[in-house]
Amino acid sequence: MKLTASAGLRGTLTVPGDKSISHRAVMFGALADGDTHITGFLMGEDCLSTIGCFRKMGVPIETGEQEVVVHGVGLHGLREPEGPLYTGNSGTTTRLISGILAAQPFPISLTGDASIEKRPMGRIITPLREMGARIEGREGKFCPLSISPAALHGITYPMPVASAQLKSAILLAGLYADGPTTVIEPAPSRDHTERMLRAFGAQVESDGCRVTVHAPLALRATDLAVPADISSAAFFLVAGAIVPGSELTIQNVGINPTRDGAIEVLRAMGAEIAVTNRRDGAEPVADLTVRTSALHGTEISGDLIPRLIDELPALAVAAAFAEGETVIRDAQELKVKESNRITAMVNELTRAGADCTETADGMTIRGGRPLHGAAFESYGDHRIAMSMAVLALGASGESEILEPEVVSISYPGFFDALRQIGG
């Protein structure tokens, strides 16, 4: 994929549905009694992996362009699949489904692609075992996982990392436990599981970093409208801020306060972002308008990190175009995403002429140098590919994005959308 410096990005666009919410909609719909109608669903490869896994366990799921109907089989209606479940590149599928599978009356094994096989699963194995699960991983901590039938009991678990995937795996196992299940997070992570379980009729209490689920007798199907993904919108917020002569509006974006850290940081860097047409439902949504802005460096650390973890590669691009130093700290989780996103971003920003250094838990970017196009690597990681495409629009000369097809994990039409706004 070749890109050249762009002269102004303009227009209104709708980015695809939220990946985290789309996964959960299928999973909870599968476990509910009745039909769950989902609109705005993300037809990205990760969410298709989730659909594939539940179809293999006997859940009828119909798909349209952005609509999905899940014919729920109830909490105890999943069937033993023929052979292992394959979760592709999707950490969310792998970790959340493990919590559900730990309570099923059949043995199962779970496997994914080469990236999934490297991602840490010890973090879910430890608490699920504490709940009574019989779950084994390769070398005790990696996929493939094998899970055997077991009776689960409720626990109170202080989580070592702020991770919504870990929190959700435990809460989903808690749907089948013989008592309440509580997790305590070091900092609040995205709360889509809590919000959506309530919409399905489960009793979930949350208070800051502490969340408790009570095992329900049943989940009740509901209709769900998935907001546009703020993690996909973030690429356009950064592009609109750095490319001269731009004004972009991204419609109907999920602005859940556990996910909106990128807006806060970009504004702190000087980006002009207007949040309009706000509507509050199960998940708050709004339209976001960004204009070209003079950016300056900032610090991104602490409790902010879980609120923008997936947007850090895009924010690193913004930092490379900002005057002064940006320091990203407390972000060691970036090393265990679809790629090591700290190393990947430092390598690729450096290739474009940026001055940046990898640190133990993040990176330091001294912005303001003129950046030039190059052939950028994607590391098999959708968010690295899209970040470097955004950089290419603001840099001089021509760039190439290698392995551009990886964007289809979370944003199948990404390059078409870039063209549509003048990229």
**What token pair was written down for 305?**
């990190």
CA–CA gap between residue 382 and residue 370 (Å, rounded): 25
SS (H, E, C) 129-192: HHCCCEEEEECCCEEEEEEECCCCCCCEEECCCCCHHHHHHHHHHHCCCCCCEEEECCCCCCCH
Q: How far is the CB of 107 from ligand S3P (least distance, A)?
A: 26
Q: How far is the CB of 139 from ligand S3P (least distance, A)?
A: 19
User: How many residues are recorded in the chain?
Assistant: 423
| Cβ atoms of 13 and 199 closer than 8 Å | no
Q: How far is the CB of 122 from ligand S3P (least distance, A)?
A: 13
Element (H, E) at 341: helix 341-351
Dihedral sign (CA 269, 271, 274, 275) = negative
Element (H, E) at 261: helix 261-268
Q: How far is the CB of 19 from ligand S3P (least distance, A)?
A: 7
| CB neighbour list of residue 284: distance below 8 Å, 6 or more residues apart | 254, 255, 256, 257, 278
| Cβ atoms of 378 and 402 closer than 8 Å | yes
> Among 280, 310, 330, 355, which one carries the catalytic annotation?
310
Give yes or no: 35 in active site.
no
Q: How far is the CB of 166 from ligand S3P (least distance, A)?
A: 6
Specify the pairing of strand 375-376 against strand 398-401: parallel
Look-up: residue for tokens 């030039």?
372
Cβ closer to ligand S3P: 92 or 212? 92
CA–CA gap between residue 416 and residue 382 (Å, rounded): 15
CA–CA gap between residue 158 and residue 387 (Å, rounded): 34
> Strands across the sheet with 2-4, in order?
2-4, 398-401, 375-376
CA–CA gap between residue 167 and residue 274 (Å, rounded): 32
Q: How far is the CB of 165 from ligand S3P (least distance, A)?
A: 3
Q: How far is the CB of 65 from ligand S3P (least distance, A)?
A: 23
CA–CA gap between residue 254 and residue 174 (Å, rounded): 27
Cβ closer to ligand S3P: 58 or 302? 302
Cβ closer to ligand S3P: 164 or 266? 164
Q: How far is the CB of 283 from ligand S3P (least distance, A)?
A: 13
**The residue type at 147:** I
Cβ closer to ligand S3P: 49 or 92? 92
- Which residues here bind ligand S3P, judged by CB under 6 A? 20, 92, 163-166, 168, 190, 309-310, 333
Cβ closer to ligand S3P: 25 or 166? 166
Q: What is the dihedral of CA 332, 250, 405, 381, to 10 degrees?
A: 0
Cβ closer to ligand S3P: 171 or 286? 171
Cβ closer to ligand S3P: 20 or 252? 20
Cβ closer to ligand S3P: 102 or 166? 166
Catalytic residue numbers, as ranges: 310
